[in-house]
Amino acid sequence: MKHLIIVSFFLFVTLLNASDWKVKDNRYFTNALGGSVDEFGFIVYSGKSCDLEVLLLTFNTTHQRLEDFEDEPVILNFNIDDKIDFQIQASFTFQWFTEYKIGFVYFDKFIFNTATIELLTNSKVVTISIDENQKLSMFFDIKSEKFSLVNMQQFRKKIVQSPCLLNIKN
């Protein structure tokens, strides 16, 4: 019984943190479910007539070799609420932290169209995975992460004043 209470408490805390969206500078984002430091969200660039939202996605790894592949295209698979699947091709930058023996991969150069962002804000969870059919996938320790989309809309409203209505196909 004691173990059940501890597990239940852990799940409650995880679910509480699951919708823990944050706004920092020009970004709104959340961490992956399960306590990972990986992040998903958007960087907002304000323009004269609208705010442009660029994907903010980080995955961590213990493989320093990823720096050799910086700016090479990577296929990311998205699954929204176990109903909608799509892929994007994104490039990344890499930062290695020698003292911690860990690196962070930053996917931050992809622009979603407004319809896709609206779909995300009205959904519950997104699973993002590195496509297994490419040579880079072997360098990612965790190839898939789930992110809660609960409260995304609320935090998006805090930072996005007027979204750009771009005609970009995703």
**Is residue 47 assigned to a domain?**
yes
**Is residue 165 assigned to a domain?**
no
Expressed as residue numbers, the domain containing 104 is: 2-159
**Is residue 7 assigned to a domain?**
yes
**Is residue 107 assigned to a domain?**
yes
- Beta strand residue intervals within the chain, DSSP E: 22-24, 27-31, 39-46, 51-61, 74-80, 84-90, 93-97, 102-107, 125-130, 144-148
Tally of domains in the chain = 1
pLDDT at 29: 95
Which residues neighbour 77 within 8 Å (Cβ) at sequence distance 6 or greater?
A: 85, 86, 87, 128, 129, 130, 131
pLDDT at 166: 55
pLDDT at 49: 75
**Contact present, 88 and 77 (Cβ < 8 Å):** no
**Is residue 137 assigned to a domain?**
yes
**Is residue 167 assigned to a domain?**
no
**Is residue 166 assigned to a domain?**
no
Taking the model in full, what pTM does it have?
0.81
Q: What is the pLDDT along the chain (170 residues), one digit of tens a residue?
A: 544 443 343 334 444 444 589 999 999 999 999 878 899 999 999 887 788 899 999 999 999 988 888 878 889 999 999 999 999 998 899 999 999 899 999 998 888 888 899 999 999 999 999 988 777 888 888 889 999 999 999 999 998 888 876 554 54
**Is residue 105 assigned to a domain?**
yes
